[in-house]
Amino acid sequence: VWTALNTNKKLTEARRVRDCGGERVLSRDISRGYEAVPITCVNGVDSEPCPENFKYIPDNCVTSPVNINKDITHLQHCSCKDNCSSSNCVCGQLSLQCWYDSGRLPLDFCQREPPVLFECNHVCSCWRTCRNRVVQNGIRVRLQLYRTQTMGWGVRAMQDIPQGTFICEYVGEVISDAEADKRENDSFLFTLDDKVGDVHCIDGRLYGNIGRFINHLCEPNILAVRVFTMHQDLRFPRIAFFSSRPIKSGDQLGFDYGDHYWKVKSKYFSCQCGSLKCRHSAASIQTPDHAACCCDASSSFTVCPVLVSAAASAATAATSASAA
């Protein structure tokens, strides 16, 4: 009975939206001007309002004791007088090489095991416009928060995006693993598994940016890369999303949450990405191959974000994908 009533409600809402002429613009800019490019929010599916259960921030923040080493005397920096185009650039050498080519990652960038990127910082002698500064310049592509049919809130491109383009960061509170264990809601945790010390997380639940809404896709079109800009404390990288292939305007953005994530979450819901190659659909979860895949998986990142919006209730979460 409840399912029938819920279905009828959704159909009624969809009909109301259709009669009103399509998608409703809920916000002209969810970042409130904190991003260089406005991020609109639209809904053409139901009556869900623009998410307001978090505070939009453009950079990671700290709300609990976390000792990030930001001592500038410890920063390795370059003495370049040019555009940091020389192979002698110290910052480029820290990254094995300067990976940026006209502001993008090259086509031969290793996506399976992405290297850590060290951008030039405020101690460097180079200009603020040097080629080795991309993530620190913020979002430069047009994105939109929109209501999907089956995955709650999602993020889509509003322009064609070439491969290797910086999309956005995953931003939130930087917290310790112990603090993460104390928090009841693990839906927006992104673990910074640096393998060099204590484990820390980025929690985008209460404070975050557009990255908190990015869904899982079994055929992802973006990848996460560790980047250092204004400090070089290896425990606390910035998590930057880059396009892993060309993206068309209107395409939903998504990255692979990883098999470890689905090993836990598949007990509660299945993937709704709709791909013919979906590895975590309701049907595939029942197969022995799925369990073996999850048990044998390894990943450069430990990804914990369920990214379920406040709009996705416990009832719908049982049958819908993890929604951003």
- Give residue-wise pLDDT tens across range 72-117: 998 999 999 988 988 899 999 999 888 999 999 999 999 999 999 9
Task: Find the angle CA(146)-CA(302)-CA(234) to the nearest 5 degrees.
Answer: 105
Domains belonging to the chain, first-starting first, are 29-266 (2.170.270.10)
Query: Per-residue pLDDT averaged across 55-70, rounded?
Result: 92
Q: Give strand ranges (E) for the chain.
A: 24-27, 40-43, 55-56, 117-118, 143-147, 153-157, 166-170, 173-176, 188-192, 200-203, 207-208, 215-216, 222-228, 238-243, 254-255, 302-305
Summarize pLDDT for 198-214 with one digit per residue, the tens. 789 999 999 999 999 99
Q: What percent of the chain has pLDDT over 90?
A: 59
Neighbours of 142 (CB within 10 A): 15
Of 233, 182, 240, the residue nearest 211 (C-alpha):
240
Does 320 score more than 50 pLDDT? Answer: no
Q: Which amino acid is at 185?
A: N
Q: How far apart are CA 145 and CA 51, in angstroms?
A: 10
Please state the separation of Cα 307 from the chain's center in Å.
9
Q: pLDDT-derived band of residue 224, with 50, 70 and 90 as boundaries?
A: very high
The answer on pLDDT for 122 being more than 70 is yes
153-157/238-243 β-pairing: unpaired
Cα Dmax for the chain: 71
Res. 319: pLDDT tops 80: no
Confidence of residue 301 (pLDDT cuts 50, 70, 90): very low
Residue 257: name the closest of 268, 273, 245, 276 by CA. Answer: 273
Backbone angles phi, psi at 4, to 5 degrees: -65, -45
pLDDT (0 to 100) of residue 260 = 79
Measured distance CA(291)–CA(286) in Å, rounded: 8
Higher pLDDT, 28 or 263: 28
Which of 198, 203, 232, 253 lies closest to 116 in space, CA to CA? 232
Q: Note the pLDDT of residue 278.
A: 87
Q: 7-16, 17-26, 159-168, 289-298 — which one is most confidently predicted on average?
A: 159-168
CA gap 40, 30 in Å, rounded? 6
Q: Which letter does DSSP use for residue 260 in this model?
A: H
Q: Which residue has the tokens 């290297």?
A: 115
d(CA 236, CA 226): 9
Answering whether pTM is above 0.95, one says: no
Whether pLDDT at 282 is above 50: yes
* End-to-end alpha carbon distance in the chain: 28
Burial of 313 (0-12, 13-18, 19+ CB in 10 A): exposed
